[in-house]
Structure 1
Amino acid sequence: MTETLSIGERVAWYRRRRGVPQEVLAGLVGRTADWLSKVENGRIELDRLSVIKSLADALDVQLGDLLAEPSLLDWTPDTLGGTVPKLREALMDYQQMSPLLASDSTSRPPDLEILRTEVGSTWSAYQDARYARATRLTPGILAVAQHAVRAYEGEQQREAQALLAMAYQGAAMVLTKIGEADLAWMAADRGLAAAQESGNLVVTGSLFRSVAHCLLANGRPTAARDLVVASVGYLENDLADASPTYLSIYGTLFLVGAMAAARIEDRAMVNQFLAEAEQTAQRLGHDANHMWTAFGPTNVAIHRISTAMELGDVQIAVDQGPRVDTSTLPLERRVRHTLELARAYSAQNRTDEALALVLDAEELAPEQVRHHFISRHLVTVWVRQRHGKPSHLLVGVAQRLRVIG
């Protein structure tokens, strides 16, 4: 399979491999054979993950198989020639993870303040949409954090475990962005274990968010929604005197839950989660970035647009999306909102405006646009739907996103 196939063409490819007639597959997802034929021929655009997930389930394939994930992480000056394979090796290095096998017992314990700064650097790279840099930095930071957990005892060990958890979460977040859903799940799961060992409730809440994100990336929105419900129940007992950081972690869980509920078309739960997030943001009082959450009223507004698009409410996104001022948020959040607006405009055949937004986003965060499902899908569809020769702007971005040769 290649990135140059449309989602509809991938559906057709897997359907034929399974030996399933169009009528049968269409029936399994509650659609007509005519609808499926138009999907496979590119006459109906598939851009809602809930619909794509239903097709993936019916074909017994991963969601990423239909989205052509993962996409290759390009070599850049940030990678120095090392990308996902090195991070995979780090996640599978049991000599580092097991105290029984590690060979650093006589080494000097790592400085926890330096380690805290280094963990922060990976998160900053993630929020700056510099995924190659984050991928390069993380293996070494994980090794140092694992050493710290082995080297210290008592309170310092718990502090090291919290830092290890946040290092794992940073790995999970960037791996999710570049389509490495299985590796992301591995990192998030280990991060949650370290967080629970640390006894730090804020860090544990942060890892709940990461696991929920990974469940979504692995095409398990119902499990993600249920995890959010359980997680907020676990955290809500300490809300009375909650710090701004605690509120940010708590509120961000509702945003993940809203996206999960939207992907199973549970409108009531979407509205409930967004209302809870809005209430928490109002209590916080302003946009902030505690524990790299980017949480506040603006991020809630962004998720209102994203969930509207997931539910097929394009007009809501078109009407409300341009009013959201994201200028104070981290780059990753700003670009994500721009791509959602592009998707909304494209759904209304406002292709030139949508392309302009994608180009603006690419200028700001080329790695994020290169890897995101929305931008890759939109550009692929535009190239294939153009009658005559595509514009040089469209051809250029299609080549940079590797959706054409």
Structure 2
Amino acid sequence: MPTLDDDHTGARIKEQRRLARLTQRQLADLLPYSYSYLNQVECGARPATAAFVAACAKALTVDVTVLTGQPYVTELQRDRLAELVRPIRESLDLYDLGPNPDLTVRPADQLISGADELCQEVRATHLRNAARKLPSLIAELTHTAWSTPSTELWQALASTYRTAHDISVKLGYYDLSAVSLDRMDWAAQRASDPCLAAVRQYMRALVYFREGEYRIGQRLVASGHTVVGQADDTREALAVAGQLHLGASVISARAENATAVKTHIAEARRIAKRIGDASEVHWLSFGPTNVDLHEMSAAVEMRQYDDALKKAREISTKLPPKLATSRRAHFLIDQARTEMETGHTENALKSLVEVCRMAPEQTRYHPTARETITGLIHLARRTPDTLNHMAAWVGL
């Protein structure tokens, strides 16, 4: 059986536990997980779920990224993606400097359409292209919004900040994502756009979801509902409200509140039935398909893997062709994890191969994909070449 080096999530949990001067038994007593499971994760015999990592991070009072090892700098440098992060960081710091007289800018309509195009790039998982274009677009929009302010320009600037958040999260720079969301709020206030403000609360809730702070996440979702309730009863507002319910469903699943999961899924499904597919609204992918995908994700979070696998098989037969690549990739990563947990290791590897082909940049830097690869390595009596290549590719 192949072995991993000490640079894996379990080893990092062990290191932080020792720094906190806790025994395995003492840490296990602080977790909603068994001592046996902690022991197996630390020695690398079992992959860590995202919920388990979040619970450990909370108990050890460290950021989740300390345990996941994000950002994966070596791979980012090899992919020439790390060098794109600093310009994004610098562009976010221009927000309060006003117009830049030394800057040559494109017409406002081109800047507004450019912000929308970057959202499309991220949904298509073209992270490098989006990251390369983003800093200059933020700079131009910042200048133009200060020079000739309008609702449309502030909305476009808020959209670019949202794209900065999306890229930062996918590459593992969570500190940068927090700055991006602050800037998004700043621009949304100037646009006087309650829907944008509610989307920002939704994204903040997912940050706390990753960190295991579920009560704060739930409060942010409730705040988002309050904010979007100030908007007119439009298709846009309904789609945002529906997506807030979907966010609440996975947060509730992590908190092991099955009743709340059902309530939020039912409410999101009711809205989706009323407005149909609204994937284009703020690029949230909201609609009947996304409700099904979140129902499956909630089952995964609650470790109801048999139920999740059944839902995954139903979903896979009816995924619409126009579903965003990023959303399809997320589904395949969830499916692979579910297949591994239910003993369908060959299918899990096939799902990973498919998602690597479809969305290589997103997959390489996705913690769950990496943990699933780790799990398959330990389950294999003889590691297939495909799995060996995949492990080397993600840096395991």
Same fold (TM > 0.5): yes
- The whole-number CA distance in structure 1 between the counterparts of 2:367 and 2:32 is 24
Superposition pairs for residues 347-386 of structure 1, below 5 Å? 347-386=341-380
How many residue pairs match? The answer is: 389
TM-score (norm 1): 0.89
Q: CA deviation at 1:181?
A: 1.1
**2:58 match:** 57
RMSD: 2.4
Match of 1:306 in 2: 297
Aligned to 1:88: 89
Alignment-derived partner of residue 339 in structure 2: 345
Specify the SS of the correspondent of 1:275. helix
**TM superposition score normalised by structure 2:** 0.91
- Within 5 A, what are the aligned runs for 1:6-405? 6-47=8-49, 49-72=50-73, 74=76, 82-91=83-92, 93=93, 96-99=94-97, 103-104=100-101, 110-153=106-149, 156=150, 158-236=151-229, 238=231, 240=233, 242=234, 244-286=235-277, 288-324=279-315, 325-326=318-319, 327-387=321-381, 389-403=382-396
Q: Distance in 1 between matches of 2:273 and 2:104?
A: 46
Q: Tell me by how many angstroms 1:35 deviates.
A: 3.9
The amino acid that maps onto 1:394 is L
Farther-moved stretch of structure 1 (309-318 vs 281-290): 281-290
| Secondary structure of the structure 2 residue equivalent to 1:83 | helix
Query: Per the alignment, in what secondary structure is the counterpart of residue 295 of structure 1?
Result: coil
Tell me the alpha carbon deviations over residues 169-190 of structure 1, each in whole angstroms, 9 at most, x when there is no partner: 1111121112111110110111
1:385 CA displacement: 3.7
Query: How far apart in 2 are the matches of 1:3 and 1:271?
Result: 41
Could you tell which deviates more after superposition, 224-233 or 360-369?
224-233
* SS of equivalent to 1:143: helix
- Report if the CA contact (8 A) 2:103-2:140 is conserved: no
Q: Indicate if the aligned counterparts of 1:239 and 1:247 stay in contact, CA closer than 8 A.
A: no
The 1:318/1:148 distance shift into structure 2, 3 A limit, reads same
Gaps of 5+ in 2: none
The CA distance in 1 between the partners of 2:272 and 2:232, in whole Å, is: 13
Following TM superposition, by how much is the alpha carbon of 1:218 offset from its aligned partner in structure 2, in angstroms?
A: 4.3
CA distance in 1, matches of 2:38, 2:78: 40
The answer to whether the Cα contact below 8 Å between 2:279 and 2:287 also exists between their aligned partners in 1 is: yes
In the alignment, the residues of structure 2 paired with residue 31 and residue 249 of structure 1 have an alpha-carbon distance, to the nearest angstrom, of 34
Q: Distance in 1 between matches of 2:103 and 2:392?
A: 49
Deviation at 1:32, TM superposition (A): 4.8
Query: Among the aligned pairs, what percent are the same residue?
Result: 23
3-state secondary structure, aligned to 2:343: coil
Deviations 1:94-115 (A, max 9, x none): xx32236x542x8677522111
Q: Distance in 1 between matches of 2:363 and 2:79?
A: 18
